[in-house]
Amino acid sequence: MKLAIVFGGASYEHEISIVSAITVMEKLSGYELTFVFCDQDHTFYLIDRGNMKAKYFASGDYKKAPVLTLTKGAFVQKRRLGSTEHAMPVLNLIHGADGEDGTVASLLSFFDIPFIGPRTDASVLSFDKRMTKWFAAGRGVKTVAYEELHAAAEHKVSTSMPCIVKPSRLGSSIGVSVVKSAAELDYALDVAFEFDDSVIVEPFIAGVKEYNLAGYRGAEGIVYSIIEEPQKNEFLDFDKKYLDFARSGEVGSAAIDDVLAVKLKMAFASIYEGLFEGALIRCDFFVIDGEVYLNEINPIPGSMANYLFADFPAAVADLLSNLPRARRPQVDYKYIHSINAAKGK
Map out the domains of the chain with their CATH numbers.
2-116 (3.40.50.20), 124-142+206-320 (3.30.470.20), 145-203 (3.30.1490.20)
pLDDT in tens, the chain (345 residues): 999 999 999 998 999 999 999 999 999 989 999 999 999 999 999 999 999 999 999 999 999 999 999 999 999 999 988 899 999 999 999 999 999 999 999 999 999 999 999 999 999 999 999 999 999 999 999 999 999 999 888 888 999 999 999 998 876 678 899 999 989 999 999 999 998 899 999 999 988 999 999 999 999 999 999 999 988 665 555 455 545 555 656 688 999 999 999 999 999 999 999 999 999 999 999 999 999 999 999 999 999 999 999 999 999 999 999 999 888 888 888 888 787 776 665
Q: What is the pTM of this model?
A: 0.90
d(CA 255, CA 227): 9
Of 3, 9, 218, the residue nearest 105 (C-alpha): 9
d(CA 7, CA 10): 10
Concatenated DSSP letters of 14-28: HHHHHHHHHHHHHHT
Rg of the chain taking only CA atoms, in angstroms: 22
